[in-house]
Amino acid sequence: MSLRSLKSAREIVSKLQSGSGAQKLSPQVTKISLAYAFKGKTECAGAKHFLQENLPRMQYNNPDVEFEVFKSADPATKPSVTVHFGERGSKTIDIPTMQSDTICDKVFQASP
C-alpha cells in the first residue's frame, strides 16, 4: 500500500516504522543522494519507486542523515545512489533497472 493513500497519522507512522527501508543506517553515513531522470528512461522506474516508497522510511528512521534528490529532465542521466560517509569518502551505486527493495539492500550494505 502506498504511503500517499493512507488516511490517519497512526497509519502513516505505522507504515514508516515497518517495511523495506525502515531500519537504522550505519552511524558512519552522513548523507544519501539519489539521482535519476524523470523523463524518457524506463530504467529509472526502480529509482522512482524507491523515492516514493523506501526513501520516506529511511528518512523517518534516520533523522540525523541528510537526504538529497536530483531529478533530471535529461533522459541520458543514469540513476544512482551515493552514500556519503563524512570524511571517510563516499560510495556511488549505479541502479539502472534495479528494483527498489534491492536498492535499499545495497544502501544498507554500503561501506566506505
> Among residues of the chain, what percentage have pLDDT more than 70?
94
Count of domains in the chain?
1
**Residue 9 resides in a domain:** no
- Parent domain of 99: 27-109
Q: Are 45 and 99 in contact (CB under 8 A)?
A: no
3-state DSSP assignment of residue 31: strand
What is the per-residue pLDDT across 69-83, written as a single tens digit (0 to 9) for each?
999 988 888 999 999
CA 81 to chain centroid, in Å, comes to: 7
**Residue 19 resides in a domain:** no
Q: Are 62 and 71 in contact (CB under 8 A)?
A: no
**Residue 32 resides in a domain:** yes
- Alpha carbon distances (Å) from 4 to 24, 30, 42, 95, 112: 23, 27, 22, 24, 34
**Residue 31 resides in a domain:** yes
**Residue 1 resides in a domain:** no
CATH at 46: 3.40.30.10
**Residue 102 resides in a domain:** yes
Cell of 43: 530504467
What is the per-residue pLDDT across 32-86, written as a single tens digit (0 to 9) for each?
999 999 887 678 888 999 999 999 999 999 999 999 999 998 888 899 999 999 8
**Residue 81 resides in a domain:** yes
